[in-house]
Amino acid sequence: MIGLVALALVVLVGLFFTIYSPMKQNVKAMTELTCTMRTLSDKLTVLETNNTDSHRRLWSKEEEQDGKLFDHETRIVCLEQQKERK
């Protein structure tokens, strides 16, 4: 009878460690993944902010170039009209 109880205890302890070890590794991996996701989320937020600022600067420069190009085209048209009048 005592042998049977001891055997049952050994089986239960073995079952505990069989289940505990993978669960411990899984919890560790999930914790690392959570930290990684938080870091990626923070970096993505910074990237989005920088991206928005870059786009703003690019569009501002593009609008400035559009204005210069329009002025240039206007001067060319005026010169062509003056040439035609002569």
For the chain, the domain total comes to 1
- Provide the pLDDT for residue 3: 87
Please say if the pLDDT value at position 86 is more than 80: no
Per-residue pLDDT tens digits for 31-84: 999 999 999 999 999 999 999 999 999 999 999 998 888 888 888 888 888 888
**How many whole angstroms separate alpha carbon 61 and alpha carbon 72?**
16
Say if pTM beats, i.e. exceeds, 0.85. no
| Structural domain of 77 | 1-86
Mean pLDDT of 13-38: 94
Maximum CA extent, the chain: 125
* CA-wise closest residue to 75 among 65, 86, 63, 83: 83
Q: Please indicate whether residue 86 or residue 24 has the higher confidence score (pLDDT).
A: 24
